[in-house]
Structure 1
Amino acid sequence: MNIPGPAPRPDGGTGAVARAGGLHAYQLWLHAEYGPVVRFQLPGAETAVSIADPVLLEATAHLDERPRRLFSFLDPLFETGNLQTLPAEEHAPWRRLLLTTLAGRPSHERHLARFATLATGLADRWAALPAGRPVRLQRELTGVSLRMIRAFALGGGAEDPDGAVEDPTGATEDPDGMVEAFEVVLTDYLERLYHVPSGQAPERRAERTARALAHLRSTVDRVIAAHRPGLPGDRSDLIGALVEAGESPARIRDTVLATLLAAHHTTGVAVSWTLHLLAGHPAAAERVTAELDRVLGDRPAPEYADLHRLCYLDMALRESLRRYPPGPYGARLTTDPLTVGGYTVPAGAVVFYPFWAVHLNPAYWPEPERFRPERFTPEESAGRPRLAWIPFGLGPRSCEGAALARVEALVLLAVLLRRFRFRPEPGHRVVPVERFVLWAADDIRMLVTPRGGSGPHSPEPTARQP
């Protein structure tokens, strides 16, 4: 039986993706039109099959190869080979090494005080803003997330030469211009992949991208040079673990660069969408702040043990990741034919995990566009397939930093929601767009009002956000 999907087009699918506004939105349309298993065209994938049903995804959970062409836009970032497409035999030990630091409680607990200091510094800066000046959530939170992951990468109590540890106030929303440099490099490579016209002359565009890439590498080199090793076997020291494992200087730099890229995007974007959704749902926001007041008392930031007691905040974060997953998709390469939902997926095909389409599948998420953190209570979660919620991917190539991202996000949310009420800037429209991650076209602009004596933050009615 042939897999359903749109008819092939001469442009290889680039026009359809562009018209939809990116791969996130295109996948939503594909599955609404053709069902849970869809064949479609995409540059870098001769045969592409997208699967939006979590039960059917189980048949693909063992796949351990990523399609090289699809991730080739990341090649220029790395010197020792694209870390997103390492062969399975090379990827497995590298992944185990990352998990020893990124996923373990010792590293999270050791770095929590730094995360709280950085979050509190951001809150102090927002508190000092003139009344009525909006904050740009995604730009600011991506910047502080980058500071967090830089502090984490250093480990061992070292000082960041550019202030990620010693300058907790976040005097700049974009330390060293790294956020902008990542955007320049990735936007250029993605536009080349999808043949998107650029307003710049090719020479100017190539020169700008080369400068941004050189800036990223030199900044990472400074971070690595500032590293001071902790005790042998310290599971909270990423660079130290890489050195101890005998990784080459180039592979260490590539790994730190990949970690900075993935972690700052995921955490900053996830927190901004969570604040956006809570601002549009005051009842849920009140439940979050009541829980924070109960758990934290007079303390401005959580300790590690508190994170497990912030149950409703965690549910709000999970629901936000369901509604607005930062990454657009996961992708794997089949090495043998697969049977999925009565269809045969041939060997050599690219299998897509369309996160947004999976998360909005009404068969598993009733009223899928509604924001309702209660979906993640133990009672409601018990009857749901395990792959119905996959913002960090699945299987042997899922995100190694998922647990760390959750800790960072909860600390940021706890500090900010404990201290402020958030209201959308009047007249500002939030439009999701795909820019490597699920961004907002003109950021998410919010007015922040200190809690404590200021009363509920509702001087004027605002539309509830879906």
Structure 2
Amino acid sequence: MRIPGPERQEDGGLSAVAAAGGLHRYQLRLHEAYGPVVRFQLPGADTAVSVADPVLLEATAHIDTRPEELFAFLDPLCEAGNLQVLPADEHTPWRRLLLSVFAGRPAHERHFARRMICGFALGGAETDTDRVVAAFEEVLTEHLRRLYQVPRADPRSAERAEAALAYLRATVDRVVAAHRSDGRTDRSDLIGALVEAGQSPARIRDTVMMTLLAAHHTTGVAVSWTLHLLGRHPEAADRVAAELDQVLGERATPDYGDLRRLTYLDMVLKESMRLFPPGPYGARETTEDLVLGPYEIPAGTTVFYPFWAVHLNPEHWPEPERFDPERFTPQEVAKRPRLAYVPFGIGPRSCEGAALATVEAQLVLAVLLKRLRFRPAPGHEVTPVERFVLWARDGIRMMVRPRDL
């Protein structure tokens, strides 16, 4: 059976994506119009198959290959090979190493007081995080422009991107050199684990660069969207505050063990990432023929994962755009397919830092919401857009006051 989808366009689908307001919104429109499996033109990959049915996604969960062209914009960050498209024989041991750091409770507890990300990626070293984030945006914006052949609006953008990349490499090199000089090989931080495993200097730098990129963007936007939703749903914010008071008492910050008891906060975070997944899509490339329901997918096909469309699938999420943390009680979770909620991707290429990102987001939210109350800024419209992650076009502006006022 032929997979449904829109007619082919001479521009490779660029105008359709732009008209929809970005690839994430384009996917929502495609699946609303054509159903759970859609064939469409994907800029950078010619034709792709998008799957928004969590049951059908199970048939793709084993795939361990990403389409190289779609991730080529990350090439400048990597010297030893783009980490997002490593072949399976290289990717598997590298992933196992990262999971030994990111997913381990002892490491989480050790770095808990350091607010996590710098403790893991840089071993606790001091960095100018705002400048790091700005540098990533300079580099990736320029290389995405080249990938999709978008005319350069600023003649100096290429020059600035080169300077930003040089700054990022120098920052990581400085920290790696410090680890090597003092002999630290602590497996509870990322560089220590990479050094102990005998990874090359280039691979260590590549890994730290990618970790910084993923961590600073995804965790930050998850927290921002959660605060946005709580500001619009004061009854949920009241319940979070009451839970924090019950668990923490007079303490201003939680211990690591407290997070397990903050069950409603966890449900709120999950519902926020359902409505606004930090990374709104992913992609794989089939290495053999695949059957998806009534459709046959040939080897070499780009399979597109529209996480946002999966999370808004009305078959599994009644009134999908409504904010309802109760969707994540154990009883409700048990009713849904395993892949109905995939904020960190699926299979062997899912996010290695998922556990770390969750702990960090819970910690930041707990600290903020124990002290402060958030309300939407009057007259400010919040519109989701793509900016490497799912962010807001004009930011998320909020009114903040102490809780006790």
TM-score of the two chains, using structure 1 as the length reference: 0.84
Q: Do structure 1's residue 7 and structure 2's residue 7 form an aligned pair?
A: yes
**What secondary structure does 1:308 align onto?**
helix
One-letter amino acid of the counterpart of residue 231, structure 2: A
Residue 227 of structure 1: aligned partner: 179
Out of 298, 301, 310, which is 2:262 matched to?
Answer: 310
One-letter amino acid of the counterpart of residue 187, structure 1: T
Out of 207, 218, 239, which is 1:287 matched to?
Answer: 239
Q: Could you tell me whether the CA contact under 8 Å between 1:161 and 1:223 is conserved in 2?
A: no
RMSD over equivalenced CA pairs, Å = 1.4
- Of stretches 221-230 and 351-360 in structure 1, the one that deviates more from structure 2 is 221-230
Q: CA deviation at 1:64?
A: 0.3
**What secondary structure does 1:29 align onto?**
helix
Q: Could you tell me whether the CA contact under 8 Å between 1:106 and 1:235 is conserved in 2?
A: no
Residue 298 of structure 1: aligned partner: 250
* % identical equivalent positions: 72
One-letter amino acid of the counterpart of residue 277, structure 2: P
**What secondary structure does 2:315 align onto?**
coil
1: CA distance, partners of 2:8 / 2:356: 41
**What secondary structure does 1:226 align onto?**
helix
**What secondary structure does 2:86 align onto?**
coil
Residue 211 of structure 2: aligned partner: 259
2: CA distance, partners of 1:154 / 1:220: 8
Q: Do structure 1's residue 416 and structure 2's residue 368 form an aligned pair?
A: yes
Q: CA deviation at 1:151?
A: 2.3
Q: CA deviation at 1:43?
A: 2.2
One-letter amino acid of the counterpart of residue 141, structure 2: T
Residue 386 of structure 1: aligned partner: 338
One-letter amino acid of the counterpart of residue 262, structure 2: L
2: CA distance, partners of 1:230 / 1:208: 35
Residue 330 of structure 1: aligned partner: 282
- Structure 2 matches for 1:168-247, cutoff 5 A? 175=129, 177-201=131-155, 204-227=156-179, 234-247=186-199
**What secondary structure does 1:352 align onto?**
strand
Out of 143, 146, 151, which is 2:119 matched to?
Answer: 151
1: CA distance, partners of 2:310 / 2:401: 36
2: CA distance, partners of 1:27 / 1:435: 16
**What secondary structure does 1:332 align onto?**
strand
2: CA distance, partners of 1:243 / 1:434: 35
**What secondary structure does 1:74 align onto?**
helix
2: CA distance, partners of 1:365 / 1:226: 49
Q: CA deviation at 1:179?
A: 1.0
Superposed CA deviations along residues 273-324 of structure 1, whole A, max 9, x for unmatched, are 0000000001111110000000011111110110100000000000000000
Q: Could you tell me whether the CA contact under 8 Å between 1:102 and 1:404 is conserved in 2?
A: yes
2: CA distance, partners of 1:370 / 1:266: 22
Task: Go from structure 1 to structure 2 and tell me whether the alpha carbon gap of 1:330 and 1:176 turns closer, same or farther (over 3 Å shift).
Answer: closer
Q: Could you tell me whether the CA contact under 8 Å between 1:230 and 1:237 is conserved in 2?
A: no
**Structure 2 portions without partners, runs of 5+:** none
Q: CA deviation at 1:191?
A: 2.4
2: CA distance, partners of 1:248 / 1:65: 23
Q: Could you tell me whether the CA contact under 8 Å between 1:45 and 1:349 is conserved in 2?
A: no
1: CA distance, partners of 2:393 / 2:175: 31
Q: Do structure 1's residue 43 and structure 2's residue 37 form an aligned pair?
A: no
Residue 17 of structure 2: aligned partner: 17
Q: CA deviation at 1:161?
A: 4.4
One-letter amino acid of the counterpart of residue 439, structure 1: W
- Of stretches 251-260 and 212-221 in structure 1, the one that deviates more from structure 2 is 212-221
2: CA distance, partners of 1:245 / 1:317: 34
TM-score of the two chains, using structure 2 as the length reference: 0.97
Number of positions where the alignment pairs a residue of Structure 1 with one of Structure 2:
404
**Structure 1 portions without partners, runs of 5+:** 116-147, 163-173, 455-466
1: CA distance, partners of 2:322 / 2:147: 34
2: CA distance, partners of 1:225 / 1:150: 16
Q: CA deviation at 1:76?
A: 1.0
Q: Could you tell me whether the CA contact under 8 Å between 1:48 and 1:349 is conserved in 2?
A: yes
